[in-house]
Structure 1
Amino acid sequence: MLTKVLLSSDVALVCVQHALSTEKEEIMGLLIGEVHNNGTLVTIVSSVILRRLDKKPDRVEISEEQLVQATLRAEELAAEVGRPLRVVGWYHSHPHITVWPSHVDLSTQSMYQRMDSSFVGIIFAVFLTDQSTKAPSVQITCFQSVNEGSNQSRREIEMEILNNNDSLLINNFETLTQLPAILKQEEDEAFNNEVSQNETDDILTKQHNAAVRTIAIGHIVDKMSRPMLEALVARNELNSVRLKTLKQQHQQMMVKLENMSCNI
């Protein structure tokens, strides 16, 4: 029985950024990792952001095609790093509502657990307000589904977020930077579907639909691309300072090593 999940900090960052991309509908993705200790421990090291086939405020769905694509991605990563990686779970968001899984979430989780008993679900509740500080907050829960006769209930799984220092760091960075493009694809698909279904619409309706798409893309730039760019620039500056400090320490150690050699 699964007892604990270790979540890479980079994957947590991708998931939270994805969850914060919209406060009107739920988002979703799949999680890639390893299973240890006879299925009692799961390590999550990468994520796959899924495009929503249908935007809904209260539920998300994963198609068989998306699951196959995520499985192929896991196999590619496994070959790159030489580790037995596979799809180990899924995540989705709860904007403006409690972090606890709904009956639909429990049903979805139960379905995947029948195929893999170690499969785990993670929910990111976003756009919440902390009542004590009145500041925005994010809540996270990790769970599995338990069947009790005809009813289903949640079983919370202990989760620990760890710093990720392995070779998958670059992959998670690329996943994060792909997020705005994936969100734009969703908007483009919604716009094209509307156009194809209503070819006889008048000019005002067409202008309205085009304006809605423009506003949506502007939202992506304002709420996702710009803050992400600013954060990456700040991170690059911090890494430059750390690199400079490490070079100074290396130089000092080399001087000490030379002095020790001369004294021998």
Structure 2
Amino acid sequence: MLEKVLLSTDVALVCVQHALSTEKEEIMGLLIGEVHNNGALVSIVSSVILRRLDKKPDRVEISEEQLVQATLRAEELAAEVDRPLRVVGWYHSHPHITVWPSHVDLATQSMYQRMDSSFVGIIFAVFLTEQSTKAPSVQITCFQSINGSNQTRREIDMEIRNSSNALLSNNFQILTQLPAILKEEEDEAYSNEVGQNYLEEDIINKQHNAAVRTIAIGHIVEKMSRPMLEGLVARNAVNNVRLKALKKHHQDLMSRLENCM
């Protein structure tokens, strides 16, 4: 029985950024990792961001094709790092509502668990306000479903740990793919609207749809791409400071070693 989940810091960052991309509909993705101790421990080291099939405020769906693609990606990563990686879970967001899974979430989780008893679900509740401080907050829960006449949740202990260096580049690429995936969703929504055989003289509808698409893409740039770039620049600056300190420490150690010889 699954007892604990270890979540990579970079994967947590990707999931939170994805969850904060929209406060009107839920988002969803799959989690890649390893199963240890006969299913008692799951370590999550990467993720797959999914394009939404349907934008709904209270649920998300995944196609079988997306699940197959995620499985293939897990196999590719496993070959790259020589580790037995596979799809071990899924995540989705709860914008403006409680972090606890709904009956739909529990049913979805139960379906996955029938295929893999170690499969886990993680929910990121975003756009919440801390009552005491009135500050924005993000809540996270990790759960499985308990089958029975009335499905209930079983909370799983989760710990966020530093990322593996072997997958650092992969997780960085996933993070930077997020704005492009969101743009693809908007392009698809726009194409579906204009593809409904509007008449030549239906200029108002055409202009309205084009304006909605432009606003949506502007939102992606303003709320996702720019803050992400600023965050990555700041992270790079911190890493450079750490690198400089490590080099100085290395020089000091080498000097001490030479003096001892």
Query: How much has 1:259 moved relative to structure 2?
Result: 1.4
RMSD over aligned CA atoms reads 0.9
CA displacement 1:51-97 (0-9 Å, x = unmatched): 00111111000100000000000000000000000000000000000
In structure 2, stretches of 5+ residues that fail to align are none
Q: Secondary structure at the match of 1:90?
A: strand
Aligned to 1:108: 108
Q: Secondary structure at the match of 1:143?
A: strand
More displaced 10-residue stretch of structure 1: 68-77 or 160-169: 160-169
Query: How much has 1:205 moved relative to structure 2?
Result: 0.7
Query: How much has 1:197 moved relative to structure 2?
Result: 1.6
CA displacement 1:155-204 (0-9 Å, x = unmatched): 11111111113301111111001000000000000001111124327101
Aligned to 2:48: 48
Runs ≥4 residues deviating over 3 A:
none
Aligned to 2:63: 63
Contact 2:45 2:164 in 1 (8 A): no
CA distance in 1, matches of 2:63, 2:110: 16
CA distance in 1, matches of 2:53, 2:148: 32
Aligned to 2:220: 220
Q: Secondary structure at the match of 1:16?
A: helix
Q: Secondary structure at the match of 2:151?
A: strand
- The AA in structure 1 aligned to 2:32 is I
CA distance in 1, matches of 2:34, 2:250: 35
- The AA in structure 2 aligned to 1:226 is R
CA distance in 2, matches of 1:199, 1:70: 37
Length-normalised TM-score, structure 1 = 0.97
- The AA in structure 1 aligned to 2:57 is P
Listed as ranges, the matches of 1:149-188 within 5 Å are 149=149, 151-188=150-187
CA distance in 2, matches of 1:60, 1:171: 25
Listed as ranges, the matches of 1:210-249 within 5 Å are 210-249=210-249
Q: Secondary structure at the match of 1:32?
A: strand
Aligned to 2:3: 3
Aligned to 2:142: 142
Q: Secondary structure at the match of 2:61?
A: coil
Q: Secondary structure at the match of 1:62?
A: coil
Aligned to 1:16: 16
Listed as ranges, the matches of 1:123-138 within 5 Å are 123-138=123-138
- The AA in structure 1 aligned to 2:216 is A
Contact 2:11 2:171 in 1 (8 A): yes
CA distance in 2, matches of 1:106, 1:32: 20
- The AA in structure 2 aligned to 1:170 is S
Q: Secondary structure at the match of 1:60?
A: coil
- The AA in structure 2 aligned to 1:58 is D
CA distance in 1, matches of 2:121, 2:180: 25
Contact 2:5 2:159 in 1 (8 A): yes
In structure 1, stretches of 5+ residues that fail to align are none
